[in-house]
Structure 1
Amino acid sequence: MTTSDTYIDEQSRFTWVNGVRVHFKREGTGPSLLLLHGSGSSLHAFDPVAADLRSVCEVIRLDLPGFGLTGPRPDRDYRIEAYVDFVAEFLSGLGLDKVSVAGNSLGGNIAWNLAVEYPERVQKLILMNATGYPEKSLPTALRMARNPLLRPLLRRWAPSRAAEQNLRSSVGPRMDVDRALVERVTAMMNRPGNRSAFIDFANTDQSDRSGRITEIAAPTLVLRGDLIDGQHFGRDIPGSREMILARIGHLMPEEAPVEVCEAIRSHLGLPASHESSAPRK
């Protein structure tokens, strides 16, 4: 039986941040890059990206509170502001004063808010289907978690079939949702406390902070899948550059790792990958 402990490996590390035991990985040498995953996901979403980039930079990724092997916050505080402060404390614990930050979905929301609240700590910023605008549509899993009739059931049970359906609704036609991905997401969601944490997160009243997006000063690359709606970061962040990836849905790092790595290398001024000329599917 696949459990969340299956995904602990020799690169896994653990540290404590504000009473939460955090699972993270720190690989490679060179300029530091922090990767932040989306809701319902884990640091494993960046496996192919980290495998490529760790040859040219130091890649740091963590399971955010409420997800993966880090699990829930004791105080059940899943506001974006709480995530931002948590990530800042995590970086301080690693002795990192300034890093480049790349985030997907929720991770992108945390990343740009980190650049607003702690501008001195963000060297460069990469947003991948980031959230934060109020008109952004909700993924299926979040809509289900907000349903008062489904919430009690979801706190007790997260079947793999539901995980598979949600994953398929989140990706574009270029990605095959295979059994390994479904098993990983199901195992992480069924880790003790994670189902309730996800429901708490989904039902947290997030404040609209989109008016502060124009304050971002870090050089920013906006990566957007053409199947994703409600994003205006390329319009609102001064001096930002936007790239739109064709036939890409919500899970960009897993759907288009080659293009993502090429874009990150270019934005950070890192050497191009020898794989960058490989044909795309």
Structure 2
Amino acid sequence: MVAMTMVPEVNTSKELLLQNTKLYYEHHPHSDTEAPTIIMIHGFLSSCFSFRKLIPELKKQFHIYAIDLPGFGRSEKSRTFFYSLKNYGQLVVDFIDHLQLKNPYIIGHSMGGQVAMHASRIAPEKIKKLILIGCSGYLKRPSPFVVRCSYLPFFVYVIKHWVSRKGVKDNLMTVVHNPALINEELINGYAQPFSDAETFHALIRVLRHREGDMSPEELKEVKVPVLLLWGRYDRIIPLPVGQRLVNDLPDAKLKVYDNAGHLLPEEIPMEISEEICSFLNFI
């Protein structure tokens, strides 16, 4: 009888303290310690759950670190963290320094794309390339009136109503091109963080602290090579935003997919994985 060797299961769930805030992340290690590293940054109202289909494709060649930004997913909903895009970018640089990651690539989805670009402006020598998926662009900061209202005690109920008025399933219908992709697993994955009441208080701070997206002048300071991936049917951040970004960024190329909306990592993970590997010279 041949004895079977059991391969121990790797615990991918990790946590560390950065900027006095508990940060949850997932680490999917490659068997080759010298393999390059990818950091994944999710979008607004999301978490590293949104990369659940892309990670299995990319971890074949890379070490993967997927972060839940403070205020989202399983990271702390801190009432002291400063939730600006620039500070999120600084947090990513702090993450790279703390784990001593060597020249990682960064994937940023939606709002996460702005965070990735801020990180690359803060520490261009530490980041090799950016892959921005349906990247947020040219959004203005909230109006002074809305910011003032965010300090009112009842504003948390406004946020709760805004998030829940359509429900998770209806919100997902706006981010995917093919509604058949929406199942219970997807709905539950996006709904889970909102079971924590502190999430809504964190969202108030995200609204309050969020500066506008990078200006064309700031975008010109993003010196690392950038791959922009876009769904032609993106109703959250329409394709013209990507077409404008590819002109404002110094070293960027744009790939458009005819069969996708805003949630490309969920909709076409294999297709974008191939494009990412090609861009990173791993095909």
Computing the radius of gyration over CA atoms, which structure comes out larger, 1 or 2? 2
The partner residue of 1:104 within 109, 130, 133 is: 109
The residue type paired with residue 268 of structure 1 is L
Matched, 1:270 2:282: yes
- Structure 1 residues 158 and 109, CA, compared in 2 at 3 Å: closer, same or farther? closer
Q: Provide Cα deviations, 1:99-149, integer angstroms capped at 9, x if missing partner.
A: 11111001111111211221111101111011131379xxxxxxxxx9x99
Using the TM superposition, give the Cα deviation of residue 257 of structure 1 relative to its aligned residue in structure 2, in angstroms: 0.6
**Cα distance in 1, alignment partners of residues 46 and 86 from structure 2:** 19
Matched, 1:193 2:204: no
- Structure 1 residues 129 and 157, CA, compared in 2 at 3 Å: closer, same or farther? closer
Q: Which runs of 4+ in 1 moved over 3 A?
A: 148-151, 153-161, 202-205
CA RMSD in angstroms, aligned pairs only: 2.6
Stretches of structure 2 lacking an aligned partner (at least 5 in a row): 1-9, 142-149
Using the TM superposition, give the Cα deviation of residue 159 of structure 1 relative to its aligned residue in structure 2, in angstroms: 5.3
The residue type paired with residue 252 of structure 2 is S
**Cα distance in 2, alignment partners of residues 174 and 259 from structure 1:** 19
Q: Give the 3-state SS of the residue equivalent to 1:262 in structure 2.
A: helix
Matched, 1:224 2:266: no
Question: How many residues matched?
Answer: 254
> Which structure 2 residues correspond to residues 160-199 of structure 1 after superposition, within 5 A?
162-173=167-178, 176-199=181-204
The partner residue of 2:46 within 41, 51, 73 is: 41
Stretches of structure 1 lacking an aligned partner (at least 5 in a row): 1-8, 137-145, 272-281
Q: Provide Cα deviations, 1:191-249, integer angstroms capped at 9, x if missing partner.
A: 24112212331343413422211122212111111123223221122232110011322
> Which structure 2 residues correspond to residues 101-250 of structure 1 after superposition, within 5 A?
101-134=106-139, 151-155=156-160, 162-173=167-178, 176-210=181-215, 211-228=217-234, 229=238, 230-231=241-242, 232-250=244-262
Identify the residue that residue 85 of structure 1 maps to in structure 2.
90
- Structure 1 residues 104 and 166, CA, compared in 2 at 3 Å: closer, same or farther? same
Identify the residue that residue 4 of structure 1 maps to in structure 2.
none
Q: Give the 3-state SS of the residue equivalent to 1:215 in structure 2.
A: coil
Larger deviation: 122-131 or 236-245?
Answer: 236-245
- Structure 1 residues 191 and 20, CA, compared in 2 at 3 Å: closer, same or farther? same
**Cα distance in 2, alignment partners of residues 32 and 187 from structure 1:** 28
Matched, 1:72 2:50: no
Using the TM superposition, give the Cα deviation of residue 63 of structure 1 relative to its aligned residue in structure 2, in angstroms: 0.6
The residue type paired with residue 37 of structure 1 is H
